[in-house]
Amino acid sequence: MKSIANYISIARMFLAFTLVLVKPLSIEFFIIYFVCGISDIADGYIARKTDTISKLGGKLDSVADLIMVMILIIIIYPIINLTVEIVVWVVIIGIIRAISMIMVFIKYKTFAIIHTYSNKMTGLILFAFPLLLVFEQPDLLLMYILCIVASISAIEEFCIHLSSKELEINRKSILAK
């Protein structure tokens, strides 16, 4: 029971990989997708409720989230019509995120993604994105909103790592201590 939240995060990693085996935006895709989404909420909730929050659990959750996002980009990119501007913007966000992860590794000798409100907001919008594809191609306004929120979240996390003397994995924002 002590590590059930960790097992849920590990299961999400494997489930995310199964998304490449099914047709994008099919019933099977969305069943797996929703199970991944529910598991993302459940692992943290269970860890808090059972008082089994751990550094390993936080890392597993972050790695599972990262795997999920990377797989979704690979699956969904061919389906949507992105402008060059959006593609460049997404690449820049990815570079900021990568630099932030490298900084964490150099400063703290570990892997970590902070659980800020802006990171959670980005995750929520990213989770909703494939659902919107069922109804229509996303318009540029939605793409801009997603990129703006993701940019704020990436820059905020980078600034927190840059200015912090110790790793604060559960810091809620740059304004909160």
pLDDT digits (tens, 9 = 90+) for 129-141: 888 877 776 677 8
Q: How far from 58 is each of 55, 98, 168, CA to CA, in Å?
A: 5, 18, 12
pTM: 0.80
Residue 54 has φ and ψ, to the nearest 5°, of: -145, 160
Q: Judge whether residue 98 has pLDDT over 90.
A: yes
